[in-house]
Structure 1
Amino acid sequence: MQFPEHILHGGDYNPEQWDDATIDADLTALEAAGINTLTLNVFGWADLQPAPDTFAFDRLDVLLDRVHARGFGVILATPTAAIPPWLATEKPSTMRVDFEGRRHGFGQRHHFCPTSPVFREQAQQIAGLLAHRYHGHPALLAWHIGNEYGGACYCENCVAEFRRWLLRRHGGLGNLNHDWCTQIWSHRFTHADQIPAPNALTEHWGGPYRSGFPIITLEYKRFMTEQFAACLEGEIEQIRHFDAVHPVTTNLMGAYEHLDYFRFASGLDVVAWDNYPRAIRAWPEMAFNHSLMRAVGRGRPMWLMEQAPVATTCRDVNPTRAPGVLRRWSLQALAQGADTVLHFQMRSAPAGSEMWFGGVLDHRGRTDTRTYRETARLGRELFQLDDLVGSRVEAQAAVLMDWDSWWYSRLVDGFSDHWDLVDQARQWHEALARHLGGVDVTDGRSDLSRYRIVVAPSLYMAHNDVIDALRRYVADGGILLTGPMSFAADATGRVLVDDRVDELLGCQVEERDAQEPGFGVELTLPDGTTDTAHHLFEILRPTGGQTAGHWRSSWFAGGSAIIRNAFGRGTVIRLGALLSQAGRRRLIASLIGPAPGHPLVGELEHVSRTCSRGTFDILLNHDQTPLAWTPPVQGVDLLTGRESPAGESLTIPAGDVIVLRRT
C-alpha cells in the first residue's frame, strides 16, 4: 500500500461551482498557502451520470490533469453520499423510510437505503468506473468512499433483511426468543415475519431512545452498522479490481452514535474523520475523539479529513474560529496521531445549505484575510513536521469505549438519564492525560498489556471476549478501574450474573440510587480525601475485595462506595460513584505515579509520537496565559530550532504549540 510520505494539507474543493478563471486563481492562492492536497468529487454523481446510461467524465478528466499540473495531489471521492435525482425518482426503493415510517423522496443528501439492491448496484458501478478510469492517474493519492455514512432506514426491504440477519445470528427463532427473553410483555414470536422494525410505529415512544423492547433496537443498530459497512465494502471491492496501490478511506465522525465504528471501519486502509467540536473549550473532547479514531484504526496513524477553517453551519450557534485556534487545533490533530490536516472547504460555496460554512478562501477568493494568512502560516509549519508522518502515539493508559454499552445504557429504562457513557469516557480520558500524557481508547479487543491502567467508566454491556481480556490484563499485573453500571448486561441484553465478573471485581452491587441533578452525595476516596458524586450511586458489597471508600451522606452513609480487589498480580478498583473531575485526578494519582513532566498544569496538553526517526513531544497550550513544562529529556523545537535542555523549565506562550524532537 502506497501511503504519502509528507503531511497532506488541503481539503474539499468543489470546482464544479466555479468558472475556469476562478479555478485558476484559486489554485494559485492555494498553492501559495502551502496546500498540497485536494479532495474532489464528493458530491459529483449527478454531473458524472446525468441519466441512467449516460456518463460524463470529461470535466473530471480535465480537472485532474489541471490540478496535477499545478502540483496538487488528489483524494478522489466516490460520489455516492448523494444520489442523483433520476435514480431517486425512477427507483424510489433506493430512498430511506425514516423512524416515523415515512418514505422519503428526493432531496438533501445521505438519503439512500443501505439494503437497496438497486442503490448498491449503482453505487458499485460508479465506483468501479472511477477506479478503472483514474487508478493510474499521477495526481491520485487515495480513494474517499462516500461521505459521512450514518442514519438508519426502516423500509420493507430493511426489515426483511433484518429478520434474516437475526435468524442467522441467533441460530433460529427459538434461540432468538430465549436470548431476547421475549416472554416479557408477551413478545414471544412464532414466525420471523412477526419481528417488527423498532421505530416510532412499534416499540418506541418519545423518540429513538425510549423503547419498550430495548434489545431489538440494539440489534437493529448492530444490523444497520453491518449494512452500511456492506455498502462501503462493496465500493472498496470495485476499486480493488483496478487499484491495489492507493489507500481507501471514508470520513468518520468521532463518537458518532449511529454506527459502531469498530465494526463499520474494519475494511479501511486508513481511518479518517471530520472534527467539528461543539464546545469552545473543545480540546479535551477533540483529544478523546482523535484517540477513538486511532483506536478504530488499531493504533495506526489516522487522517484528519475535515475541519472548519473559519465557522461551521447547521447548528443553532456557529462560532468563528478565533485567531490561532485553527493552527492549534490542526497541530493537536498531528499530536494525537494524524498524518494529514485537511479542511472543509477550500473556497466558500456561492449558495446552498453551506454558503456560510467558511473556507480557506472566502466568496471573493481573497488572500488578505486572517483565515488565509493563518492557513498559509500553518502550511509553512507543516512542511517542517514531515518527520512525524507514520509515527505512533505513545500511551500508558487506555479508556474503554464500547458502542453496544453506549447504546444499551441509553435504551434501557431505569435509574437516571442524566449521565452519559461517552461523556464519562471523555472526562476520564482528560484526567488520565493530565497525569500521563498520551491516552488511548480501546474496545477491549486490542493488546492491553502495554498499559499501566485501563479505565472502563461503564462497560454496561460486557461481551465474553472482553471479560476474558480484562481478566488476563489484571491477572498479569494491570490496574483496571471501572465505574457505575459496569458489567450490567450480557451481549444478549440480559442482566449479567457471572462468577467470572464477581471474582474479578471482588464485589457485587447491593443497591442503586439515583437523584435529580444538583443532588450530591459525599464519599471518601482511597487517599483519605472526599469528593461529591452526582446522578447515580451504587452501594457495593465486598465479596473478596476490600472497601477503599465509603459513602458519607444520604441514607446509605457508611456503605461501600469504592472496592479495591487483588486479582492475580493486578488490582481492580470498582467505583460506585460518578466522581468529579478533581476526584478522578486524585484517584488516578493515588493509584499510579505521574509520567515524567506530569501532572500537567492549566490547559496544557502533552502527547508523544515515536517512530524510527525519533520521539517527538508536542506541547499545546490551550490556555490564555503562559504555562510551564519541564522536559524530562533534551530536545529541539522543530518549529523554531530552539533547544530545550532536560530538567529546565520551558515556557509555552498562551495559545502556542511546541514540537520537540528528543535529542
Structure 2
Amino acid sequence: MSDVIAYGGDWNPEQWPEETWEQDVALMREAGVNRVSVGIFSWSLLEPAEGVFDFDWFDRVMDLLAANGILANLSTPTASPPPWFGDAYPEALPVDADGRRLHHGSRQGFCPSSPIYREKALRIAEQVATRYRDHPALAMWHVHNEYGCHNARCYCDTSAAAFRSWLRAHYSCLEALNEAWGTAFWSQRYGDWAQILPPRATPSFTNPGQQLDFRRFSSDALVELYVAERDLLKKLTPDVPATTNLMAGAHWDMDCWAFAAELDVVSTDHYLVGARPEPHIDLAFAADYARSLAGGRPWLLMEHSTSAVNWQPRNLAKRPGELRRNSLQHLARGADGIMFFQWRASRAGAEKWHSAMVPHAGTSTKIFREVVALGAELAGLADVVGSTVRADVAILLDHSSVWAQDHPAQPTADLDPVEEAKRWHAALWRAGLTCDLAHPEGDLSGYRLLLVPALYLVSDSGAANVEEFARRGGVVLVGPYSGIVDEHDRVRLGGYPGAWRDLLGVTVEEFFPLEGTIALDSGATGGVWSELARTTGAKVLDTYATGEPAWTRNEFGDGAAHYLTTRLEDDALAEVVAAVCAEAGVEPVAEAAPGVEVVRRSHADGRSYLFAINHTGQDAVVRPPGGAPVTVPAGDVRIIH
C-alpha cells in the first residue's frame, strides 16, 4: 500500500459547514493522519438530480487533502442511492422474503440484481473516476461500502429471474438441479425453469438445496457488482489499487473468499461486541481471518471505532488505553493500515452516537489525545510495513457450510458453526498460538495442524484435500457434525462423518443432541452434542461412561487424524488442542502469562517484531526465545524489535 502505516478514517466533510474543513485538516496533521476515506455517502450531493452532477465542492475537498499531504481512499458512492433513485425506479428497491418492498430512508436501498441500479451506479462511478483520475490525492479506490450489510438477499421478480439464470449456468439441465435439491421430497420436482423462485416465505421449511444455492447466488451478485465497478475504474486508472471493505468475522452473508480474490488489497471493518466477555479474542479472530483472506499479505483495517458504536443494545465506551491496544492488535496480526469510522462525530443522523477521532466534546478529550498519541506511535513503526505473520495451524472455514447449517431443520439449534470456529480459535489464542483461517479447497501445504471445528458441508475436493494433508504428515483435529453432507447439502450415506470415515477410522451410527452435559472417563465434560460411534481402525483416547468413543486418533499415511464426538467444554477443549499442537510440533513464539497476547511479524530478510499485548490488569513478563525477559505493564503493549 505504501511505505508508511496508513492512518486515518472516514472523512465526511459534506456533513459540516465548509469553514470547518480547514480546521479538520489541521487537526488531521496534528494527529498524524496520512489517509482518509472520502465520498462514501456523497451520491445525493454529487448527483442531486438524475443526470445533474455537482463536483465543485468535492474538488475543494480533494485539493485540500493534496495541499496537506493527505492521501484519499476515494469511494464510489454507490452504497447509498439518493432519494431520486427510489422515487424514479421503485422496481429497483429491495424486496424481503415476505414480499415487502423496502423503501428509501436508510442506506443500501437497492436490489443487487437490478439492471437499473447497476446502470446508475456505474454512471456515477465513471463520473468520479473521470474527474479525479489524475488527482494527486488519489491513492486507492474504495469501491462501494460494506457490500450486503443490509441488502444481502433480495426476493423480487428481478432477483428471481437472475437466480434462474445463475442456476442454468451452474446445472447442466433441470434434472440435475432436481437431483441436487432432492425435489422428489414433498412433491417439489420442477418441470420448467420458470417455476423456480427464490426461497420466499412458505408454510413450512424451505428446500435446503434451494436455500443454499440462493445464498450462493446472492453472494455472487454482490461480487459481480464490485467487479463491474472495479473493471470500469481499472480502465480509467489502471495503476490505482481497488478494494472494498469486507466485514470479515462478523458478517456471514457474503463469501469473503470469493470477494477477496477480486481485491487488489484486502480491507475489512471490525467493531468490538460489548456482549462478548473477551472481545479482544474476537478481534484476533477477525484480524486472522482478514490476513488469511489476503493470502498472508498485509491488509488494511478500513474501519474500527475509537470508543462506543451506535448499533448494539448497550454501546460500551472503550477504557483508557483500549483504543491503542485494539489498533496495535490489528497491526500485530498483519494490518498495514489502521483507520476508523469516522473522523468527526456526526451531529445528526442514525450514527450520531458512534464514536469518532474527533468526538462531540472536541479535542480536549481522552479520545483525541489517544488518537494523536497513536498517530505518533504508528509513524515510528514504519519499518513494520510489508512484514507478514506466519502460522503453523489453520482452522477450516467455508461460508457454504455455514449457510447450509443455517437451515432450521437441524438435529439441534445449539451447535453454531461460527461460534464453534471462534471457540476453537480462542483455545489457540489462550495457548499463545497464532492461526490462519483456510478454505477446505485451498492450499494447506504450509501448515502442520488443521482444526475442523464444525464443517458440516464439504465438497469431494475439499474432503480429499484434508485427507492429502494428513497423508503427507499433517495432524488433523475434526469436531462433531463435520463432513456430513456434500456441496448440495445431501447426506453422505454409509455412516457419519461421511466425508472422513476413512481418514478418522470412525463410523457414527446416530447423533444424540444433549439438553445438559455428558461426562467423559477422563473427567472432562461435553455438552450440546454426542454421537453413537464405533472405531474402524482408530485408537480410543477418551470415552463416555457407557464406553462409546468420545475422542479418537487414527494414523493416516504419514500423519494422524483426531476426532471428537462431543462439544467439549472450554477447559477440556484446551487440553485436546494442546495435545494435538504438541503432536504437530506447533509452539508459541514466546512464553507469556495468561491474557498476554504475543504475535510475531517478520520480513523476508529476517527482521522481525514481537508484539506483546497485555489484556490483563497486572504487569506481566514475556520471555522471547533467546532474548531477555520483557515486562509488559497492565493494559499496555510492548513491541520488541
Identify which of 619, 632, 635 aligns with 1:652: 632
| Mapping of residues 445-484 of structure 1, within 5 Å | 445-484=441-480
Q: Aligned residue for 2:104?
A: 106
| Mapping of residues 603-642 of structure 1, within 5 Å | 603-612=595-604, 614-633=607-626
In 2, Cα distance between the equivalents of 1:187 and 1:446? 35
**Is it true that 1:376 corresponds to 2:372 in the alignment?**
yes
> Structure 2 vs 1, CA of residues 54 and 500 (structure 1 numbering), >3 Å: closer, same or farther?
closer
Tell me the CA shift for residue 412 of structure 1: 4.9
Tell me the CA shift for residue 416 of structure 1: 1.3
Q: Which amino acid aligns with 2:236?
A: F
- The percent of aligned pairs where both chains have the same amino acid is 35
Tell me the CA shift for residue 478 of structure 1: 0.2
Q: Aligned residue for 1:269?
A: 264
In 1, Cα distance between the equivalents of 2:355 and 2:284? 23
Q: Does structure 1 retain, via aligned residues, the 8 Å contact 2:460–2:499?
A: no
Q: Does structure 1 retain, via aligned residues, the 8 Å contact 2:616–2:634?
A: yes
Q: Aligned residue for 1:511?
A: 510
**Is it true that 1:298 corresponds to 2:295 in the alignment?**
yes
Q: Aligned residue for 2:544?
A: 551
| Mapping of residues 90-101 of structure 1, within 5 Å | 90-101=88-99
Q: Does structure 2 retain, via aligned residues, the 8 Å contact 1:461–1:489?
A: yes
Tell me the CA shift for residue 212 of structure 1: 3.3
Which one is further off, 405-414 or 598-607?
598-607
Tell me the CA shift for residue 600 of structure 1: 4.3
Q: Aligned residue for 2:352?
A: 355
Tell me the CA shift for residue 500 of structure 1: 6.3
Map Cα deviations across residues 368-424 of structure 1 (whole Å, 9 max, x no partner). Answer: 110000011101110111111111111111111111111111215132111211111
Q: Aligned residue for 1:424?
A: 420
Structure 1 gap segments, 5+ residues each: 206-210, 634-645
Q: Which amino acid aligns with 2:608?
A: T
Q: Aligned residue for 1:239?
A: 233
Tell me the CA shift for residue 148 of structure 1: 0.8
**Is it true that 1:287 corresponds to 2:288 in the alignment?**
no
Q: Does structure 2 retain, via aligned residues, the 8 Å contact 1:410–1:417?
A: no
Map Cα deviations across residues 590-635 of structure 1 (whole Å, 9 max, x no partner). Answer: 22335255564321111111113512111111111122221103xx
**Is it true that 1:439 corresponds to 2:435 in the alignment?**
yes
State the SS of the aligned residue for 1:411: coil
Q: Which amino acid aligns with 1:164?
A: S
Q: Aligned residue for 1:155?
A: 156
Q: Aligned residue for 2:14?
A: 16
Q: Does structure 1 retain, via aligned residues, the 8 Å contact 2:181–2:208?
A: no
Q: Aligned residue for 2:242?
A: 248
In 1, Cα distance between the equivalents of 2:138 and 2:323? 27
State the SS of the aligned residue for 1:224: helix
**Is it true that 1:403 corresponds to 2:403 in the alignment?**
no
Map Cα deviations across residues 76-119 of structure 1 (whole Å, 9 max, x no partner). Answer: 00000000111111111221011221112222101211111111
In 2, Cα distance between the equivalents of 1:59 and 1:520? 63
**Is it true that 1:583 corresponds to 2:578 in the alignment?**
no
State the SS of the aligned residue for 2:91: helix
| Mapping of residues 43-62 of structure 1, within 5 Å | 43-62=41-60
Q: Does structure 1 retain, via aligned residues, the 8 Å contact 2:398–2:455?
A: yes
In 1, Cα distance between the equivalents of 2:387 and 2:133? 27
In 2, Cα distance between the equivalents of 1:254 and 1:500? 27
In 1, Cα distance between the equivalents of 2:221 and 2:227? 10
Q: TM-score, normalised by structure 1?
A: 0.92
Q: Does structure 1 retain, via aligned residues, the 8 Å contact 2:589–2:600?
A: no
Q: TM-score, normalised by structure 2?
A: 0.95
Q: Does structure 2 retain, via aligned residues, the 8 Å contact 1:437–1:598?
A: no
Q: Aligned residue for 1:637?
A: none
Which one is further off, 181-190 or 596-605?
596-605
State the SS of the aligned residue for 1:241: helix
In 2, Cα distance between the equivalents of 1:369 and 1:130? 36
| Mapping of residues 527-546 of structure 1, within 5 Å | 529-546=522-539
CA RMSD of aligned residues (A): 1.6
Q: Which amino acid aligns with 2:186?
A: W
Which one is further off, 543-552 or 35-44?
543-552
In 2, Cα distance between the equivalents of 1:401 and 1:626? 36
> Structure 2 vs 1, CA of residues 190 and 658 (structure 1 numbering), >3 Å: closer, same or farther?
same
Q: Which amino acid aligns with 1:538?
A: E
In 1, Cα distance between the equivalents of 2:211 and 2:295? 28
Identify which of 4, 7, 24 aligns with 2:5: 7
In 2, Cα distance between the equivalents of 1:144 and 1:248? 6
Q: Aligned residue for 1:221?
A: 215
Q: Does structure 1 retain, via aligned residues, the 8 Å contact 2:38–2:73?
A: yes
> Structure 2 vs 1, CA of residues 600 and 189 (structure 1 numbering), >3 Å: closer, same or farther?
farther
State the SS of the aligned residue for 1:501: helix
Q: Does structure 2 retain, via aligned residues, the 8 Å contact 1:596–1:632?
A: no
State the SS of the aligned residue for 1:592: helix
Q: Which amino acid aligns with 1:121?
A: E
In 1, Cα distance between the equivalents of 2:23 and 2:4? 25
State the SS of the aligned residue for 2:597: strand
Identify which of 487, 492, 513 aligns with 1:491: 487
In 1, Cα distance between the equivalents of 2:326 and 2:415? 28
| Mapping of residues 308-347 of structure 1, within 5 Å | 308-347=305-344
**Is it true that 1:390 corresponds to 2:383 in the alignment?**
no
| Mapping of residues 119-198 of structure 1, within 5 Å | 119-150=117-148, 151-198=152-199
In 2, Cα distance between the equivalents of 1:22 and 1:185? 64
Map Cα deviations across residues 562-587 of structure 1 (whole Å, 9 max, x no partner). Answer: 12111100000011011122112211
Q: Which amino acid aligns with 2:440?
A: G
In 2, Cα distance between the equivalents of 1:458 and 1:135? 46
Tell me the CA shift for residue 304 of structure 1: 0.5
Structure 2 gap segments, 5+ residues each: none
In 1, Cα distance between the equivalents of 2:413 and 2:134? 53
Q: Which amino acid aligns with 2:490?
A: R
State the SS of the aligned residue for 2:520: strand
Map Cα deviations across residues 508-534 of structure 1 (whole Å, 9 max, x no partner). Answer: 112211122xx110124xxxx431111
Q: Which amino acid aligns with 1:442?
A: A
Map Cα deviations across residues 474-530 of structure 1 (whole Å, 9 max, x no partner). Answer: 0000001011110110001110137763211211112211122xx110124xxxx43
Tell me the CA shift for residue 121 of structure 1: 1.0
State the SS of the aligned residue for 1:378: helix
In 1, Cα distance between the equivalents of 2:514 and 2:445? 38
In 2, Cα distance between the equivalents of 1:271 and 1:418? 33
In 1, Cα distance between the equivalents of 2:220 and 2:451? 28
Equivalenced residues, count: 628
